[in-house]
Amino acid sequence: MRYRILGNSGLRVSELCLGTMTFGDDWGWGAPPAECAAMLDVFLENGGNFVDTASNYTDGSSERILGELLQGRRDEVVLATKYTMTSRPGDPNGGGNHRKNLVQSLEQSLRRLRTDRVDLLWLHIWDGTTPVEEVLRALDDMVRAGKVLHAGMSDTPSWVVARACAIAELRGWTRPCAVQAPYSLSSRDVERELLPMAQAHNLPVLAWAVIGGGVITGKYTATDGGPRRYGDLTPRERTRRIVAEVQAVAGECGMTPAQVALAWMRAPQRRPHVIPLLGARTAAQLRENLRVVDLDLPAEAVERLDGVGAIEHGFPRDFLADEEMVGLVFGSTRRLLEV
């Protein structure tokens, strides 16, 4: 395991992050506490130090389990949690990005996690109603109070994140140091806007659903589609082509399909900008996926996988990259410019 600086912070985090949405079986799937303990041990023993949870994961069980397991080794871990999701569905202030929910959610998370601060607090999902200035000032207040050390933004439009960075820098408030979004061979929408924005602002992207809930590995057949939150994949020919290519590369390289999907995410062109979130239901599964730190795909295999899952970037990226447009802007000098 190697480590990297998290964006514009000084925080050192492992190149893989342990996602703990599977900690607890309250939702009818996931892992019981004993298996969670085994997974955390495997991750830490293999050099991992970056652990991610959220206030609503398994109705709070994920944070409670982590709080118990981290007793005596809390300082060894870069601990991240999230706020936004409602804790009281009938209360209009029971969820959201606003200051009231941030404060009450964070206090609850600190109690569950048995700690006096979290190393990284994520805005979980953009609610579209709270002024970004309120979010930033509330996060900055929590940093100044010592209850939060760093802040990030998850599942938020790229223009909101860019605006948040600009406002925070202008006003001297805590600036987001990372973003989080779904990203995989079969889900590459972030390549249109979010990834270029994140690179420009030095924001690493924590990629969740990196194997599409198991879909990319071929776990789900043409008749059972896939887990609901990833959509019904049965009619999607593109997904079937991706699964077939992943399985072919796995056979050629002596890797599992999940390792191929993770290794593609860690290809040289993505590795400096993306940190995969690993979720697992068993310690054996996690141990197998952690082997990816020692595995690299041949450049030819990466190119094949890039091609089979490629998306159209659309306007403005495709328009601005069009040769005719480039010629209209630069004449014949574009190839002479070093940028």
Half-sphere exposure of 5 (CA within 13 A, CB side): 5
Instruction: Give first-to-last CA distance, the chain, whole Å.
Output: 32
Which conformational region is residue 137 in: left (phi greater than 0), alpha (psi within -120 to 50 degrees), or beta? alpha
Exactly one of 3, 57, 220, 230 is catalytic; name it. Answer: 57
In 3D space, the residue among 15, 61, 14, 56 whose CA is nearest the CA of residue 36 turns out to be 61
- From start to end of the chain, where are the E strands? 3-5, 12-14, 17-19, 50-52, 78-83, 120-123, 151-154, 179-182, 205-208, 274-278
Instruction: For residue 220, indicate whether it is catalytic.
Output: no
Please spell the DSSP secondary structure of 127-192, one letter per residue: -SSS-HHHHHHHHHHHHHTTSBS-EEEES--HHHHHHHHHHHHHHTPPPP--EEEE--SS--GGGT
The answer to whether 164 touches 134, Cβ cutoff 8 Å, is no
Active site residues: 57
